[in-house]
């Protein structure tokens, strides 16, 4: 629920915070208060995120990637929904992991007012509050490790795949099932499944995207340099 905060003065950055960890949520709220920002809402989940944002009218939403109930991609889906529905609201995503596919989705519309930071690499409180200010002003803030991963995958997302994994991915692109791939390559279906899992991992396709991972893998194959 939203904290009882004082009314913001002119120019005060208004923040809505979505983080399931009580300690981190309260710690961030205190940090924002010390920085002169106003926390207009603090929640443990992303339920009805658009409605909450419309009601609280924040300038920036700071949100975790993995939230209840599933702890998969609830936060990032909420962030993407906000980018579509309320483009004037800046979004700063916090994550414990480098998930480049999520970072790409956030940046896909080529607009500013967005950030993606890793929790355990936010060591300077001053830098963190500055990141909030920068996304509020329409800038883009990315963790250096996220940038490195994005650059690496942009050069050649398939570079890390073995020759066998490339063969399997090519057959996936042809629309073949695992059983059909096994027959074509004269290997067991278990070996195919291991190769498919390795492909998903190397292309940074998270388990929460399981329904679409074969399609996303094929897109990566078709878009290779």
pLDDT tens column, 39-76:
999 999 999 999 999 999 999 999 999 999 988 889 99
Whole-number pLDDT of residue 2: 41
Q: With respect to CATH, is domain 14-152 assigned 3.40.50.2300?
A: yes
Assess whether the region 14-152 and the region 157-222 belong to the same CATH fold.
no
Going 124 to 129 to 132 to 136, the CA torsion angle's sign is negative
pLDDT tens column, 8-41:
455 799 999 999 999 999 999 999 999 999 999 9
Whole-number pLDDT of residue 6: 43
pLDDT tens column, 71-119:
888 999 999 999 999 999 999 999 988 877 788 888 877 688 999 999 8
Q: What is the mean pLDDT of residues 197-207?
A: 84
Angle, helix 74-85 to helix 49-56, in steps of 10 degrees = 50
Backbone torsion region of residue 140, taken as left when φ is above 0, otherwise alpha when ψ lies between -120 and 50, otherwise beta: beta
Q: What CATH architecture does domain 157-222 belong to?
A: Orthogonal Bundle (1.10)
Whole-number pLDDT of residue 23: 93
E strand intervals along the chain: 14-18, 38-43, 60-64, 90-95, 114-118, 140-142
pLDDT tens column, 137-191:
998 898 888 887 776 666 677 888 899 999 999 898 877 889 999 999 999 999 9
Ordered by start, the domain boundaries in the chain are: 14-152, 157-222
Residue in the structure block whose two tokens are 């963790």: 143
Taking alpha carbons only, the member of 138, 139, 160 closest to residue 149 is 160
pTM of the full predicted structure? 0.68
């Amino acid at each position: 629920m939203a904290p009882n905060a004082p009314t913001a003065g002119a120019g005060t950055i208004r923040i809505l915070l979505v983080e399931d960890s009580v300690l981190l949520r309260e710690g961030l709220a205190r940090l924002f208060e010390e920085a002169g920002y106003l926390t207009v809402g603090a929640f443990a989940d992303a339920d009805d995120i658009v409605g909450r944002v419309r009601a609280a009218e924040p300038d920036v939403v700071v949100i975790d990637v993995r939230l209840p109930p599933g702890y998969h991609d609830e936060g990032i889906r909420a962030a993407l929904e906000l980018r579509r529905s309320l483009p004037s609201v800046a979004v700063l995503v916090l994550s414990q992991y480098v998930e480049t596919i999520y970072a790409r989705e956030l940046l896909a519309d080529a607009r500013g007012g967005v950030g993606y930071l890793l929790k355990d690499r936010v060591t300077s409180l001053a830098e963190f509050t500055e990141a909030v200010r920068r996304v509020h002003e329409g800038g883009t803030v990315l963790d250096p490790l996220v940038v490195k991963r994005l650059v690496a995958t942009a050069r050649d997302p398939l570079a890390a795949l073995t020759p066998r994994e490339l063969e399997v991915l090519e057959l996936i692109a042809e629309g073949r099932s695992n059983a059909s791939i096994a027959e074509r390559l004269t290997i067991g279906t278990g070996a195919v499944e291991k190769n498919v899992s390795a492909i998903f991992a190397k292309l940074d396709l998270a388990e929460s995207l399981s329904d679409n991972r074969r399609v996303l893998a094929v897109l990566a194959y078709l878009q290779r340099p």
